[in-house]
Amino acid sequence: MLAVFAVGMVLLVAVAVANGSFERDPGIAGLLLAFAGFMAVGALIVARRPRHPIGWLFSAIGLLAATAAPAGEYALYAHVTRPGRWPLAAAAAWYWVVAAQLLFGLALIFSPLLFPTGRLLSHRWRPVVWLTAASGAVSMVLSALSPSLELTDGSAIRNPIGIAWMPHPYESALGRLLNDLFFLLMAVAVVSLVVRFRRARGEERQQLKWFAYGGP
């Protein structure tokens, strides 16, 4: 998993430099470090405690980032930076927009909900998981079948499997509702983390402190 992540990050940096993405958005470097942290911690947990859900969750986040982000930059390179010279721009853009939905759901909602035990704080938090999964699935379908696919610079490319009447994932009323719901669920996940911290003692409390310090 670490080898796949490393190769993906090398490809990402190479194509992002060619696209000038670092000049347009210096925050990309911070995202690289954040996802590298997910991958390193996830791989370490999987190696030491392979049955622990957090290890696999963090590893999935790292691997999604290492494949989705290079795909998004490649789509931009093939469609905008060097248009017409490289194949599969639409396929790369399609993977980018679909995988990004899953990536940010896992990183920003499921991680604070499940860290550090890999279990919910209590059964009362299950509706948050169900609602996150349902809204995330709808968002992924909208992104996958939207007539156009948004690239990392805000431009768009035609989706070869897009459906003309499908609501746009960002511009339609349904898309805006799902976006607002995502931020609401993210806030609820943070509340769960705060409640867990107030109840935690000993080692678990120290783990939550580590997670909070790494968040910013």
Three-state DSSP at 25 gives coil
| Res 214: pLDDT | 66
Does residue 55 contact residue 116 with C-beta atoms inside 8 Å? Answer: no
Q: How many CA atoms lie within 13 Å of 76's alpha carbon, on the beta-carbon side?
A: 23
The CA distance from 114 to 189, in Å, is 9
Per-residue pLDDT of the chain (216 residues; tens, 9 = 90+): 999 999 999 999 999 999 988 888 877 888 888 899 999 999 999 999 999 999 999 999 999 999 999 999 999 999 999 998 889 999 999 999 999 999 999 999 999 999 999 999 889 999 999 999 999 999 999 999 999 998 888 888 999 999 988 887 777 888 899 999 999 999 999 999 999 988 888 888 888 888 777 655
| Res 200: pLDDT | 84
DSSP 156: E
| pTM of the shown model | 0.90
Per-residue CA distances from 187 to 16, 109, 144, 152, 190 (Å): 31, 8, 26, 25, 5
Rg for the chain (alpha carbons), in Å?
Answer: 18
Long-range CB contacts (< 8 A, 24+ apart) of 172-180?
172/142, 174/138, 174/142, 175/139, 175/142, 178/135, 178/138, 178/139, 178/142
E strand or H helix at 150, and its extent? Answer: strand 148-150
Give the chain's mean pLDDT: 90
Q: What's the CA angle centered on 202, arms 196 and 205, to 5 degrees?
A: 35
Q: For the chain, what is the largest distance between any 2 Cα atoms, rounded to a whole number of angstroms?
A: 58
- With CA atoms as reference, report the closest residue to 77 among 159, 153, 162: 153
